[in-house]
């Protein structure tokens, strides 16, 4: 594969290991998908990001995983801050 | 960003966590896992298993197992804030989906490395959030060893 996002390696094969497979990362959730000859039947392509995306429902809308994570961090941190404030009352 | 190494061992009973990394409760930081190694050193037999790397949203109140101390790859680096654990007896709460799935036989050792910067397995900077290794349907459970390199 020309531009993989990860490699699966058998470290005991040969002198410095042997690459078994490549992985590609979903641009919307960050999941790595092992590349096989059937991978392309089960993955999508985001025309906006120009990258592979997985078939999960939440990944059909174009939101980059880092943006999603930032939003999650913001809401979770606020939620926990409020919970702590509520517990101390 | 400083890099750290952790490793642990556990029996891969179906649907149990063998180890995890989770952010600090008060000073959470993002963790980027860039190298994972999975293997077994018990007498070789034909067993198959799958390993799910899934997102954790909360640690168990009584996690049990062994608290791991991440080893800085550069000795000059400060201690990690992350609080990883091996062979926990109290299961953490999973949510947010699988980020990597590795189907594996017992005999070989398998290593996953991220190919480029930005393709690591990233955990959010939220208290107790992280990534756990979950065993999926082993034919017969056996002792396995795992290792991870991460930066934070």
- pLDDT tens-digit map of A11-58: 888 777 888 899 999 999 999 999 988 888 878 999 999 999 998 899
The span from the CA of A60 to the CA of A81, in Å, is: 31
The per-residue pLDDT for range B101-134, each reduced to its tens digit, is 999 999 999 999 999 999 999 999 999 999 999 9
**Looking at chain B, which residue has its C-alpha nearest residue A24?**
B119
B-chain residues near A56 (CB < 8 A): 97
A23 within 8 A of A15, measured Cβ to Cβ: no
Residues near A41 by beta carbon (within 8 Å), at least 6 away in sequence:
none
Reference A26, options A70, A72, A57; nearest CA is A57
Pairing of strands A32-34, A18-25: antiparallel
pLDDT of residue A38: 85
Q: Do B113 and A69 touch (CB under 8 A)?
A: no
Residues near A12 by beta carbon (within 8 Å), at least 6 away in sequence:
B108, B109
The span from the CA of B42 to the CA of B63, in Å, is: 26
B81: left (phi over 0), alpha (psi -120 to 50) or beta: alpha
Q: Do B100 and A7 touch (CB under 8 A)?
A: no
Question: What mean pLDDT is predicted for residues A60-82?
Answer: 91
B-chain residues near A7 (CB < 8 A): 112-113, 115
Task: Check pLDDT > 90 for residue A3.
Answer: no
Mean pLDDT of chain A, nearest integer: 89
- Reduced to 3 states, what is the DSSP secondary structure of residue A41? helix
B13 within 8 A of B91, measured Cβ to Cβ: no
A-chain residues near B113 (CB < 8 A): 6-7, 9
**Looking at chain A, which residue has its C-alpha nearest residue B105?**
A10
- Reduced to 3 states, what is the DSSP secondary structure of residue A21? strand
């Amino acid at each position: 594969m020309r531009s993989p996002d990860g490699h699966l390696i058998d470290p005991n094969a040969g002198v410095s290991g042997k690459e078994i497979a490549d992985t590609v990362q979903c641009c919307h959730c960050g999941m790595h998908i092992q590349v096989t000859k059937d991978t392309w039947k089960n993955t999508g392509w985001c025309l906006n990001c120009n990258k592979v995306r997985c078939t999960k429902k939440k990944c059909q809308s174009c939101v980059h995983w880092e943006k999603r994570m930032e939003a999650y961090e913001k809401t979770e941190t606020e939620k926990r801050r409020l919970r702590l404030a509520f517990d101390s009352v | 960003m400083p890099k750290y190494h952790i490793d642990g061992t556990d029996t891969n009973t179906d649907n149990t966590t063998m180890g995890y990394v989770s952010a600090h409760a008060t000073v959470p930081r993002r963790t980027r896992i860039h190298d994972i190694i999975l293997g077994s050193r018990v007498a070789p037999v034909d067993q198959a298993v799958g390993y799910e790397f899934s997102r954790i949203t909360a640690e168990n109140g009584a996690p049990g197992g062994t608290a791991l101390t991440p080893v800085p790859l550069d000795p000059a680096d400060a201690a990690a804030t992350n609080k990883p654990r091996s062979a926990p007896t109290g299961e953490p709460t999973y949510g947010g989906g699988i980020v990597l799935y590795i189907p594996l036989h017992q005999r070989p050792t398998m290593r996953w490395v991220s190919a480029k910067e930005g393709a690591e397995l990233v955990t959010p900077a939220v208290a107790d959030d992280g990534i756990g290794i979950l065993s999926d349907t082993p034919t017969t459970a056996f002792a396995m060893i795992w290792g991870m390199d991460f930066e934070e």
